[in-house]
């Protein structure tokens, strides 16, 4: 009788232990599911090393604003000093060096010497940062789980804008092209603030960009752009996108921007799958 009681005791204890372990596993699984909610690991397409999707969907003041203390903006663009010093951590000397590098780039690709007196009143050359209220964010990065709210993109550098109503005939690598008023180019960095699974900032991803063809503004306010990209780990890439802005009744403007980056700039795939066939029906 005593042996039977001991055996029953151990069976009951073992049953309770199994139940506790099962409950613990369910709790951990639910916790992991909750932590990964809204996150998607994006698969890298064949022929590329990385693919990144940016979107800008924030509401911002189209006039003058101060979205962050000491950050002064006019519409989409702000004074770029904050980005260079506080975000990128550059010194005055490093900013000056970047300025000269940007000038050289625009001369090489557009044939425009920003210091040429003949260009006064025909172009503008500015240090800029994209308005934080624009909410420019990474929403997909191949091989990574990006949360549904995305990763913040801090974007800044030097811009070249054609202000001449008649436009400008370009030279350099763009010889033969005519850039209309409002067209131009950008030379700078994306500084992407990455986060861990708890939403805490855990790193910065830096991508350099440079316009090698002029941006294309349309009469309806849409804006097309293409830039060469470079990342220390992924190498050379390309980014192509469109900006669109939606006026709101409260006087603000809603960003509606898409930008797709790939590394390398073009696919290396030579032969695509033959199945399913193009004309096949499910």
Q: What is the pLDDT of residues 141-171, one digit of tens each?
A: 999 999 999 999 999 999 999 999 999 999 9
Write down the pTM of the prediction. Answer: 0.85
Task: Using DSSP, state whether 250 is helix, strand or coil.
Answer: coil
For residue 178, list its beta bridge partners: 169
Q: What is the four-CA torsion angle of 108, 109, 111, 115, rounded to 10 degrees? A: -70
**pLDDT score for 15:** 56
pLDDT digits (tens, 9 = 90+) for 29-47: 455 544 544 555 789 999 9
Q: Which two tokens stand for residue 100?
A: 């000269």
Q: Confidence class of residue 5 from pLDDT cuts 50, 70 and 90?
A: low
User: Are the beta carbons of 149 and 58 closer than 8 angstroms?
Assistant: no
pLDDT for 41 equals: 78
Task: Return the pLDDT at 34.
Answer: 46
């Amino acid at each position: 009788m005593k042996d039977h009681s001991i055996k029953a005791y151990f069976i009951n204890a073992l049953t309770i232990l199994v139940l506790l372990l099962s409950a613990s596993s369910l709790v951990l699984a639910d916790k992991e599911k909750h932590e990964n909610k809204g996150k998607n690991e994006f698969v890298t397409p064949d022929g590329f090393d990385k693919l990144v999707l940016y979107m800008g969907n924030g509401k911002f003041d189209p006039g003058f604003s101060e979205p962050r203390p000491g950050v002064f903006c006019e519409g989409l663009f702000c004074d770029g000093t904050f980005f260079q010093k506080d975000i990128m951590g550059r010194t005055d000397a490093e900013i000056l060096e970047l300025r000269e590098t940007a000038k050289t780039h625009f001369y090489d690709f557009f044939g425009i010497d920003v210091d040429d007196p003949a260009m006064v009143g025909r172009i503008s050359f500015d240090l800029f940062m994209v308005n934080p209220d624009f909410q420019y964010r990474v929403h997909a990065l191949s091989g990574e789980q990006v949360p549904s709210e995305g990763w913040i993109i801090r974007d800044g550098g030097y811009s070249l804008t054609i202000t001449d109503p008649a436009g400008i005939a370009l030279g350099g690598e763009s010889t033969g092209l005519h850039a209309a008023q409002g067209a131009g180019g950008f030379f700078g960095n994306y500084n992407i603030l990455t986060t861990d699974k708890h939403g805490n900032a855990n790193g910065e991803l830096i991508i350099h960009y440079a316009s090698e063809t002029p941006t294309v503004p349309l009469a309806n306010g849409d804006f097309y752009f293409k830039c060469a990209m470079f990342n220390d780990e992924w190498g050379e890439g390309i980014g192509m996108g469109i900006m669109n802005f939606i006026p709101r009744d409260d006087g603000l403007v809603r960003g509606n921007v898409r930008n797709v980056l790939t590394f390398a700039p073009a696919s290396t795939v030579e032969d695509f799958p033959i199945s399913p066939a193009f004309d096949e029906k499910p």
